[in-house]
Structure 1
Amino acid sequence: MIWLAIVALLIAAATAWYLARPLSRTLVTDDRERRHQLQQLRDRLLVQLNELDVEEGDRNIDPTVLTSERERLEAELAAVLRELEAPKEKKKKKKAVTESRRGWVVALVLFGVVLPLTAAGLYALYQRPILAYLTNPQAPADAAVPPMVMEMVGRLEKRLSEQPDDAAGWFRLARAYAVMGRAEEANAAYARAYKLTPDDPQVVAEYAAFLYDGDPQNTSGQVFGLFSRLHELDPENRDALWFLGFASYKKADRKKALGYWERLLKALPADSQEAEHLRMIVARTRGEMTKK
């Protein structure tokens, strides 16, 4: 049996070496490719919006169709810009890439020796709960969620039933539900966390983003109230400035939209692509005001 363990270690070491070679390139490549795709999508949406303006001026399109198509394009553009404007971790990623280049040899040794032993230990540790889960057809579960995750969520649900005033617990549970695709339960958990801590910018921001991502066409009602509250708590919050500007634009209040977006422009790096394209949107909005 010893020689089998040695062979397993050698195979694991060889696999780790093979996988470690492109490690230093993967992080940067994936991030750049995603941003490049988002930038291309953003450019296409801006071109389509400009084409709509031309068709509107030439009166070659039905006003109802024009309004519907413009709202759809603007909603998609808002989602793209929000993702592009999300806090960036470029410095951390660069540091991680540099460290991976220096430390992949150490990782090779660790994975080659520790991985098989860790796998065996985890198997022994979790064998009983997994088998119990598989042999209990009555247990509720999501086929895409590992049993251990379901167990952790279950423990958190039980604790919150005993400690319903734990705002941080409701916040974590809301995040877990959102990841699991349980939107209604996530909404309810976010609502509980917000009710307990209405002055916490992080809770308000995530709750507002969750509602907006679930229905990007809706810029009124509760989602508007949450982003307004976020703006009160953090007047320079970029998501709040963008959303409130977009909501004002949809209400045909171009002047108010410009107020939010011009404030957002000041918060963005002047030479960033996000600022460049927001300047285009601001210029187009000003042009619409001039036509009137």
Structure 2
Amino acid sequence: MIEFWLLAGLLLVAALGFLLVPLVRGRKAQTEEDRTALNVTLYQERMAELEKQAAANVLTAEQLQAGKDEAARELLADTDGLQGKGTTVLGRQVPIIIALLVPLMGYGMYLHWGAIGDVERTVDMVENQPKSIEEMTARLENSLKEDPNSAEGWYFLGRTYMAQERASEAAKAFERSIELSSRDPALLGQWAQALYFASDKQWTEQLQSITDEALKADPEEATSLGLLGIAAFEEGRFNDAIGYWEKLVAVLPPEDPSRAAIQGGIERARAQINPAAQAPAVAGADQQAGPQSVAPQSAEPETAGPQTAATDSAAKLNVKVSLAADLKDKVQPGDSVFVFARAVSGPPMPLAVKRMTVADLPAEVSLSDADAMMPMLKISGFKQVQLVARISRSGNAREGEWVGQSEPLNNDTAELQQLTINTADTQVQ
């Protein structure tokens, strides 16, 4: 903040300079004006003296005229560049008045229209960065209490709510951001996504209207395309899902990590449409690439055709999660515990997730396709998976303090798996 006020002070000095320079010049002009008035008086006295001398016959007519001409030339030389008296007085008063008003008016206008609060909050955010998503959320909430008309603040609050799986609150935040700003297509897509998950994945006329508006303004709006594909897949409209996801893949950058997941969803939808044609192709690919290949993972033979339902019901992993004895004094009962399954070869995002607290341990949980975060990413779609349990004091499923991991296992493993949290979580996994 010191730098801000120093800069403001320098700008004020520069502005006052433009106003006070004319005042200094005005004083110089006043001095010259006074000298000119004196010269005029001397000229008048000189003329009177010449008239007296002519009347006394001391000067001839020619001498009188020569004296008058000489006095006039001297007066003209002294009054060259004379400025009006009224202009001089006005130029002396106005700069002083304006110089006094400029700082006061500038400060008052800044208090009314300026953004000193935003500047202070930004500086505080940079200097004291939040250490957890909960702290970030609390700061944003407090900031919006002070400035409830910040469209950017409501947008970022919505994003943090979504990261915490608080879809209902996120939807309200995105809606408020839209009310305060423009109906940007990307923001409309975020709002629709939050509404969809807040309504337990129930598609509504409002969602259709919002996504239609977003895609009309921007046919390549990624969030809306992905959301429409998910909704279509959930409703069994597989051709529509393929269409939306193919458009999405076409606009995503080649290095985008979500491309593989979306492509897997496309293959899964195709398998649902034509099981007989899809299964042999995928089986052949699996034989060539092997079980660790990424490409066929989203459409393994057991996920296609009439056997899909049976496989989905069989894709259920049971795991008992416990805490290592030497960590019991290092954790708190309220720390979050995330238990999830992820593909050994495939997209990095979890396929299924369950959440509990340290106080619940030890505990037995089941992970199945019913716990899938996205319909195109299910346990049954990947031949080998890995089980992970993570303790996160911040409530962030992607990073924490302690973790336990299993060896790779088949997605149809029926035996109860033992998973012990015993290792420091030194990196995001």
TM-score, normalised to structure 2, is 0.27
Higher share in helix: 1
| More strand by percentage | 2
TM-score (norm 1): 0.37
**Relative contact order, higher structure (CA 8 A, sep 6+):** 1
Larger radius of gyration: 2
